[in-house]
Amino acid sequence: MQTEKLKGILDLAGGLAILVGLIFVGLELRQNTAAMEAASLQNQTDASIDFLLLIASDDELARIWLDATKDPDQLNEIDSLRYFFISRSRWLRMQNAYLQWRREALTDEDWSFYNGIICDEGNAGAIRFTKTWDQHRVQLTAGFVEYVENCWSTSR
């Protein structure tokens, strides 16, 4: 009888230990998810800052950016090439944000900033985006291309 009672107590203690372990794992998973989201947002922010500082700190790139926002067709061959690469880096940054969001490493709230840049055709940045889209879409992921084009078709 004592042995069965002891066995019951040990089974209960074992069950409680497993429950405590699962709670601990759940808490750790939540902390790791929060850390992953924070790191992803920080990487996106750093990429945006780097992009903006690149344009702001180089007179030639700033002039190209400004001229391209007025009329990219008026750029000479070299400036057009430089603007192409500036635009490609911007599209890749937006695609990265999209992929992070799809993988749930970027929250919906954080994604809404990038979504607004891409999708809001009333936004001057989005209008500039549409002018370079055909040049870059073939080098972007199919899911991102579909998202952008669906976004633009529903916002018109």
Mind listing the pLDDT tens digit of every residue in the chain (156 residues)? 678 887 888 888 888 778 778 787 777 777 777 677 677 767 777 877 888 888 889 999 999 988 988 888 899 999 999 999 888 888 998 999 999 899 888 889 889 988 988 887 555 555 556 778 888 999 999 999 999 988 888 765
Per DSSP, 75 falls in state S
Residue range(s) defining the domain that contains residue 112? 44-155
Element of type H or E holding 130: helix 124-136
Whether residue 41 contacts residue 110, with contact meaning beta carbons closer than 8 Å, is answered with: yes
Is 34 within a domain?
no
* Residue whose tokens read 């809001």: 120
> Is 102 among the domain residues?
yes
Residue 128, pLDDT score: 58
Please give the Cα distance from 90 to 83 (Å, whole number): 10
114 lies in some domain? yes
In a domain, 2, yes or no: no
Q: Residue 75 falls within a domain, yes or no?
A: yes
Domain membership of residue 38 (yes or no) is: no
Domain count, the chain: 1
CA atoms of 16 and 14, how far apart (whole Å):
5
What pLDDT is recorded for position 121? 53
Q: Which two tokens stand for residue 26?
A: 């759940």
Q: How many CB atoms lie within 10 A of CB 82?
A: 18
CA distance 6 to 135: 74
Asked if residue 94 belongs to a domain, the reply is: yes
- Examine residue 16 and state whether it is found in any structural domain, yes or no: no
Tell me, what's the pLDDT at 146? 95
Tokens of 97: 């944000």
